[in-house]
Amino acid sequence: MPTIQDIKRRFEIIGNNEDLNRAIDKSMLIAPTDISVLISGESGVGKESIPKIIHQLSLRKHNSYIAVNCGAIPEGTIDSELFGHEKGAFTGAVATRKGYFEVADGGTIFLDEVGELPLTTQVRLLRVLETGEFIKVGSSNIQKTDVRIVAATNMKMIKAVAENKFREDLYYRLNTVEISLPPLRERKSDIHLLFRKFAIDFAEKYRMPVLRLDPDAVSILENFKWPGNIRQLRNFVEQISVVEKSRSISPEVLLHYLPDYSKHNLPSTTPNSEKDADFASERALMFNAIFELKTQIGDLKKLTLEFLKENQNITFYEKNHALINKLFKDEHPKNDAPQSTALVPVPNSLPAVGNFSGDNNNNNYYNENDRIIDIEESGSLSLIEKEIEMIKKALEKNDGKRKDAANELGISERTLYRKIKQFDL
């Protein structure tokens, strides 16, 4: 029985990551069996190496091994590619053709990107897995095949099943054993090893000295997120090998070739959920309401002072100027502010500008503590009332069209619908 290191040398696998070693070990254990295998991992992590290991260590190693990229075959021809077709089965079928399952009888088929299979093809594949039977396109004859299937995907298969994009029964049939490969960002200690391996390969290919990294450049390389994984790192090394004249790579040179390095290492401020987006919309609406409320309170303060000045009640204005300013200070008096006991003459109801007589002999005096006219209660609207008023105005302005009203308010339609329901508008 070969060791993990033997397998790495044989299949040119670089790295000592624990999760990578576990995946190789599991491949070696299941290889002698006919168990179906599902390999999961992000694009570019090297999933194509695992089915080769399984095939070469199995009893089928002397028979065919066929790798099929399911995402690269058009939906209209994939059944023909996998299961074959009879002559005249469709336009262009000028001869009978064998499919991969017939050609690979007794061997192994690797279905890469299996999550891209159409639902109709998934039904056919499930039948092969359960009974070993298939039917060519355009034929009525049942054929048998003895094929081991190893599948791979970079999709979240549970999510695809929940969204009815992948059959649940096929998923569990393929997923008898799952082998998961870690992304490159979780294999930091392997990144420099891979860089050196690729640098040597490209130095031989292009007949030039091997690239070397400064110690600080190694640290930058290992802390990059590598969203494209090993495939991205390989292309990155090839680019530097060809373009750079110097064979010693400094951190400055390395950063020049790394795409959006700072963005990959800074925390994102983008809302990460629909709930966050709704909160941002509501906050914008509240800010608009507060701003308009503040403006109206300022106008009310200005009108009050004009009432007193225009009626030439100079003595009263001078005596109560401090009180008026206090009542309107910050637009929101604090509950623990000292209460004034000044007597302010007011009419029973505020008349239009210029109609206030300012007669100090009338009996319309009140103690500010009595709150006959309360600044918070009648001088301004509450935030909720203001919000309702803004929503009503926006709906009226846009003839009841909620989408246009939401755009007018600067909020999402979903938030507007909830507000309409909340306030029973």
- 136/20 same-domain check: yes
- CATH number reported for the structural domain that contains residue 240 in this entry: 1.10.8.60
Q: Classify burial at 337, counting beta carbons within 10 Å of its beta carbon; exposed 0-12, middle 13-18, buried 19 or more.
A: exposed
In tens digits, the chain (425 residues) has pLDDT values of 789 999 999 999 999 999 999 999 999 999 999 999 999 999 999 999 999 999 999 999 999 999 999 999 998 899 999 999 999 988 888 999 999 999 999 999 999 999 999 999 999 999 999 999 999 999 999 999 999 999 999 999 999 999 999 999 999 999 999 999 999 999 999 999 999 999 999 999 999 999 999 999 999 999 999 999 999 999 999 999 999 989 999 999 999 998 864 444 444 444 454 455 555 556 666 766 676 677 777 777 777 776 666 655 455 555 555 555 555 554 444 444 444 444 444 444 444 334 434 444 444 433 444 433 343 444 444 667 778 888 888 888 888 888 888 888 888 877 887 788 787 77
Structure letter (DSSP) for residue 379: S
The reported pTM is 0.61
Instruction: Report the distance separating Cα 104 and Cα 96, nearest Å.
Output: 17
- 72/156 same-domain check: yes
- CATH number reported for the structural domain that contains residue 411 in this entry: 1.10.10
Q: Looking at residue 330, what is its pLDDT?
A: 46
Last residue of a domain, one of 216, 243, 265: 265
Q: Looking at residue 211, what is its pLDDT?
A: 93
Instruction: Report the distance separating Cα 344 and Cα 316, nearest Å.
Output: 8
Number of domains in the chain: 4
In DSSP terms, 150 is beta-bridged to: 37, 110
Last residue of a domain, one of 182, 214, 234: 182
- 298/189 same-domain check: no
- 193/178 same-domain check: no
Instruction: Report the distance separating Cα 103 and Cα 399, nearest Å.
Output: 66
Which residues form the domain of 400?
Answer: 383-422
Q: Which of 12, 10, 31, 13 lies closest to 21 in space, CA to CA?
A: 13
Helix, strand, coil content of the chain in percent (nearest 5): 55, 10, 35
Q: Looking at residue 111, what is its pLDDT?
A: 97
- 52/171 same-domain check: yes
Q: Looking at residue 278, what is its pLDDT?
A: 56
- 195/223 same-domain check: yes
- 351/395 same-domain check: no
- 22/120 same-domain check: yes
Residue 64, number of CB atoms within 10 A of its CB: 15
- 43/176 same-domain check: yes
Instruction: Report the distance separating Cα 387 and Cα 425, nearest Å.
Output: 12
Q: Looking at residue 333, what is its pLDDT?
A: 44
Instruction: Please state at what angle helix 229-243 crosses helix 188-206, rounded to 10 degrees.
Output: 40
- 371/409 same-domain check: no
Q: Which of 195, 184, 182 lies closest to 228 in space, CA to CA?
A: 184
Residue 33, number of CB atoms within 10 A of its CB: 14
- 213/238 same-domain check: yes
Last residue of a domain, one of 164, 182, 200: 182
- Contacting residues for 274 by C-beta, under 8 A, at least 6 apart: 414
Instruction: Report the distance separating Cα 2 and Cα 5, nearest Å.
Output: 8
Distances (CA, A) of 101 to 32, 72, 81, 84, 124: 20, 18, 9, 8, 11
Q: Looking at residue 396, what is its pLDDT?
A: 85
Contact 129, 41 (CB under 8 A): no
- 56/161 same-domain check: yes
